[in-house]
Structure 1
Amino acid sequence: MSPQICWRTVLLSTTAAMVVGFSAPVAQADIPDEAYQPILSHLLSNVIPPKLDAFHDANAALSDTIGDFCAEPDAGGLEKTQGAFHYAMDIWQEIQPWRMGPLVANGRDQHIEYWPDKHGTATRQFRKLMFDKPAAYTDPAKLSDASAALQGFPALEEVLFDDERAGQLISADEDGIYLCQYGQAIASNLQTLSGELRDEWPDFAQAMSTAGPDSMDYPTAKFAATDLYRALHEGLLIISSQKLGRPLGEDEKDAKASRAESETSRRSLRNIEHNLIGLFALYDGKWGDIGEEGKGLAALIDSSLLDRSFRLNWQTVQDELSELPSSVGELLEQPDGYAKLLDFAGQIDFLTTLVENDVGGNTQLGGGFNSLDGD
């Protein structure tokens, strides 16, 4: 990628709109700028790159798996392909909330996952696609120039998980053959996108990690670290306003599972489970077996009591989520499902308040511009 690109202009883009007021920072001495530097280096250069490698590998495996299935379609092959989809999607949902640099450059996040689709664009375009069956959309290179709504995980989800289309795929009728070729093109394009993301990340990480007066993007390390805090804060806001708020609607009568993310594959709440894993890595500095505990934003928290409290509250929310089914649709089918979903949304909002007050205040990163407020 050209060194002339200003990474600042592609940070934390989002489709949400919400007004949020930050709490006033806790009164304390200014944190020296050099204290932010090791956090930037650890998160950007040590923690995220192995996840980007894993994401690319998962998409490569998905591409190979769907290719094998299309060569010899049967129910077992479709189930294996669906499993490869879920594995790649799990990793994407952990990476998704970071929303910075190469993740959002040139709309890459939308090409990987076009969502939310408030106006049903993907449904309309997919219906036309299946009517016309253009050969160009079975070519990964040509597909990459198509509408984002016809690329990425939601489009592949429609191919692999819709009951009617599953039958067509296995029977390999005219529609099934086209669907398989189209699905292969989507998976191959995802492999390309994830490879570009992986390859472009080091330059971006270097730009943030070497923040200082000579940088055109980041005049101070604190200025750069603010974007890590925003990723944590806004990631929770997106869960609340979009991933939960949209299906919840105005009230129980207005609730609609189809407005949830990845509902066709019945994994809308599973997505949030993985979002929380990736978001907590920003705070903690450890992501599964990658990184080191306490080297994320938590390194700036000077109260062990506050740190323990934050971790306990976060774990409580994760434990609550583990007791829920994998999708909003399954939950809403339960007699008390709406109440449970509303309660869980309240818990996410509580976590958001903790991030604003405790993390934002104690790291001195919580004030100022919020990209979700529409300014």
Structure 2
Amino acid sequence: MRLRLALIALLIGAAPALAGPPAPGPLASAMIESYLLPRYEAFGRATAEQARAWKDACQDGDFSADLETLRERFQVAADGWAAVEHVTIGPASVGLRADRIYFGPDRRNAVAKALGELEAKASEGDVAEEAVQRLSVAGQGFPALERLLYETDKATPQARCRAGVAISRNLAMIAEEILSGWRAADGPLARLKRGEGDPVHFADPAQAAARLMTDLAGGFQRVNDMKLFPVLGSAPDMARPKAAEGWRSGRSARAIRAAVASLAAQARIFAAAAPKDVAAAVDKDLAAAEAAVAKLPDDLGQAAEDPKRRPAMEAAIAALKTAQNDLAKSIAPALGVPLGFNALDGD
């Protein structure tokens, strides 16, 4: 841990507290290189392994014998996305990639409709990459794959196999596109390291740092607003178990833990560039948030209906809100990085 923080301090040119906040360009570059790219790399590896597993499992046109292996690959790949889903800056925001990876919330059963369309195409033969990309975004990513792995429908085993191969291949391709976009010779990271803006993602290095900080604060808000509040409701009889992300695959709490672990890691990198007293206070609250989500029941939806188990969810919401406030009121001002609007702020 000390070595990692020392490296971050070196990258951002950290100086004594009296010297003022670090320059935003090196701060943003260090965050992307030390935090973001390794997680996109892990996501890329996980989706590639998932795609290979589907291809191997479907050699005989029926994945039922390899179901547990495919479910395991799905869980690991979905964890990889949970670690970066809050990031809106960069290539993930281009071409509806984030929605294609994980469409939600699904209020109109769009995933089932899109998956049915894909299975219909798959009943006629292998599905080309272009055919998947022309589908609704609801049928291109993890929610559709989850239904294949954890539910049954009227499609033939061979059609379901072809659909799974097509979706998993699509996810691996998108993951590679995101990583390649960051690494491009004239991509956003290269421009940032040259002290330039990017025509798509940020006007200048200061805005890059601000967007990273905003995405981070919005990430804590995202967990509350999209993964906990909709499930919890205002009372046990108002709970909505099937509003829980990944309820079919039993990964509702797991997804939250993966997201919060990643958010806390990013927050600690920012905090390492802040005054020590600020960093220490924030680290304490981050640890409390991680501890709170660790106590979330695995059957999150059912727990929301149980008056005796709802307090664990309420405690997690409070701890995550505290962490979000720390970023807005302590870390961002200490680093001279303003917070902007995020996708959850509305109009």
Letter in 2 for 1:185: A
Matches within 5 A, 1:229-244: 229-244=213-228
Change (3 A) 1:223 1:161: same
Q: Say which of 10, 17, 40 aligns to 1:52.
A: 40
Matches within 5 A, 1:216-227: 218=202, 220-227=204-211
Query: Which residue number in structure 1 is paired with residue 264 of structure 2?
Result: 280
Query: Which residue number in structure 2 is paired with residue 183 of structure 1?
Result: 164
Scaled by the length of structure 1, the TM-score of the pair is 0.78
Letter in 2 for 1:307: A
**Per-residue Cα deviation, 1:259-282 (whole angstroms, up to 9, x for no partner):** 121111111111111111222232
Q: Say which of 308, 311, 326 aligns to 2:283.
A: 311
The offset of 1:340, in angstroms, is 2.3
Query: Which residue number in structure 2 is paired with residue 288 of structure 1?
Result: none
Contact 2:118 2:163 in 1 (8 A): no
**SS in structure 1 of the partner of residue 344 of structure 2:** coil
Q: Say which of 250, 267, 273 aligns to 2:251.
A: 267
Q: How far apart are the structure 2 equivalents of 1:139 and 1:158?
A: 21
The offset of 1:237, in angstroms, is 1.2
Provide the identity percentage. 23
- 1:349 matches 2:330: no
Q: How far apart are the structure 2 equivalents of 1:354 and 1:314?
A: 9
Q: Say which of 103, 107, 113 aligns to 2:96.
A: 107
- 1:142 matches 2:123: no
Q: Say which of 353, 358, 362 aligns to 2:330.
A: 358
Q: How far apart are the structure 1 equivalents of 2:218 and 2:169?
A: 30
Query: Which residue number in structure 1 is paired with residue 241 of structure 2?
Result: 257
RCO higher in structure (CA 8 A, sep ≥6): 1
Query: Which residue number in structure 1 is paired with residue 54 of structure 2?
Result: 66
- 1:301 matches 2:289: no
Q: How far apart are the structure 2 equivalents of 1:153 and 1:125?
A: 13
Change (3 A) 1:227 1:176: same
Contact 1:360 1:366 in 2 (8 A): yes
Letter in 1 for 2:315: D
Letter in 1 for 2:311: A
The offset of 1:234, in angstroms, is 0.7
Q: Say which of 290, 311, 322 aligns to 2:294.
A: 322
Query: Which residue number in structure 2 is paired with residue 6 of structure 1?
Result: none
Contact 1:97 1:278 in 2 (8 A): no
Q: How far apart are the structure 1 equivalents of 2:278 and 2:254?
A: 28
The offset of 1:341, in angstroms, is 1.7
Contact 2:271 2:282 in 1 (8 A): no
The offset of 1:44, in angstroms, is 1.4
Contact 2:213 2:339 in 1 (8 A): no
The offset of 1:249, in angstroms, is 2.5
Question: Which stretch shifts more, 112-121 or 45-54?
Answer: 45-54
**SS in structure 1 of the partner of residue 156 of structure 2:** helix
Query: Which residue number in structure 2 is paired with residue 82 of structure 1?
Result: 71
**Number of residues paired by the alignment?**
326
The offset of 1:60, in angstroms, is 1.4
Q: How far apart are the structure 2 equivalents of 1:370 and 1:143?
A: 29
Matches within 5 A, 1:94-133: 94-127=83-116
